[in-house]
Structure 1
Amino acid sequence: MRYQLYRSVPVVWRSSRCIQFGVDSPVLIDGLTAADTELINAIRMGISARDFDARAAHLDVSPARAASLLSLLTEAGVLMPVERTAYQASSTTHVDAYAARIREEPSCITGRLTRPSVLVLGPLRRGLQALLVAAGMRADIIDRAEDALTAAQPLVVLTGAWVDDAVGAGFLHEHGIDHCHLTVGQDQARLSHVIRAQDTPCTRCAIGFRCDDDADWFGSWQALWQQAPSASLLDPVLCALAYAHQAERVREHILHPGRVASDLVISPSGEVVIETPEFHSSCSCRATVPQDLSHV
């Protein structure tokens, strides 16, 4: 066991007896002695549990008070016990702030985030892939949905300008590959739930509902799809908002599979509307994998 403070948490000494942790919701620990201060500084540098106990004894700090200090730091959400390996700050910088927020060891978060492969396809792939990598995920760009077949259980993010990539979604669904949509239009961006064959509503379900509301919707989709719009036609601010939300949802999916079950609609102002996807009665995806959409 090793004690370390999350290095992303700001620390301010308000006085020799009072220390502040955090900024947005600061936590104050008051009534500290000079010995307490030395122990806190030792923890900030990183110290093993055995050395901590020895340092406390050397400073004439009772085991009960030393344990109380550790308890206060834990309650403040700043103490990071490292169970297996020493804290390697240089390899976890990209997840330090997130790990502190959810109170987990950064090296564990890094390991879990880089284990699966995230593949990004479509006109917005470069902007999204850059943010996924910056957030600590293993993300790669692919040019075709077929390229996902060579990866082991990947999550594919299909990006689209104006319209969803229903063609790529059909192929991925047919081959049982988890995927989701990030589509930026004129006035809003849409982020789909993670689509899992036979487990969640698929892209064909969404198409079915849209055709119910607009009988000519599919023909319009085909015309827009064939124009192959690029990211340069879209509002970069709206794209950035979509990237941020999508990166958070991909991270959530990797760490907690099954939680990304809703769709999001994002406006340029940052307002977010949550929608619940539904199975369409004309689609057989709940029972069997639907046919390939590559003919559209």
Structure 2
Amino acid sequence: MDYYNDYVKKEAEKINSLIKEHEDMREGADEGMLQLIEEEISKLKEQKSQLESPKEVAEDAQEETTGNINPNVATLEIRSGTGGNEAGLFAYDLFRMYERFAEKKNWKITEVFRSENEIGGIKTISVEVKGTNAYGLLKNESGVHRVQRVPSTESGGRIHTSTATVAVLPKLQKVEIEIHPDDLVWEFFRSGGSGGQNVNKVSTAVRLIHKPTGIIVECQEERSQGKNRSKALDILYSRIYTEMQEQQVKSISDLRAGQVGAGMRNEKIRTYNYPQSRVTDHRANKSWHNIGMIMDGDIEDILSYLEKENLRT
């Protein structure tokens, strides 16, 4: 199921209805009114043509999987938390850790959106990860990650504590979620990243706002506005689906207490202690050492352990 094409179909039906209404107004209209009607019909037809013209969609849009979730595709989002610029640097380090792990697994990472702070740290980054069991391994990374270390900007040698949040969203093929076009607000702006002459000249980047939930999705990955709109709509469906799942998890949280943690996103799930070269996952109550290797992408043991723990629960 292509969510973007579904959206286009609904919008086209609305435009067709408006065109028919204006065509019915032709009868009995004087010359001046008739000219206004024809101009409006022309505008509506042009709007429909622009709506239907971007036929390009994400290359995996037609992938078929069993069930609602494709286990081989995930959207990974990282945001800096408390700690100012140091939190942004930690968010960048986390992204680099996942990126290097993906390289070891021969996974493909495609950047969807990135916002940086003034010293090169990450405010927000969103990437799509594709590879064998990518979502299955990364899904347990969702939550608050905490770092304890001496920042490079710290002249007094004091240890600071900063945080970053990680969200891992599934790629959905079919899901019973209805999003009404009237609930969507589309904004278009010029991309600020790399991309040659097309960048900063054409408004290909998109911002999608879902009014009922307040969810905002930004996408500037592609040079085509149509492909960015398609990607943004896919991510919106994933976020809504994830929120629905979390509501169900909350209702049975008492039954899951005492297993591998409640797993809610507002909880601290892991601490990276640089002075002690230790990474501790608080849900599993387990630590791993050699933090340098872990931050260089050697996280297979951690992810596999958490996946097995989840299977047991």
TM-score range, shorter chain: under 0.3
Larger radius of gyration: 1
> Higher RCO, 1 or 2 (CA under 8 Å, sep at least 6)?
2
Give the alignment's TM-score, normalised by structure 1. 0.28
More strand by share: 2
TM-score normalised over the length of structure 2: 0.27
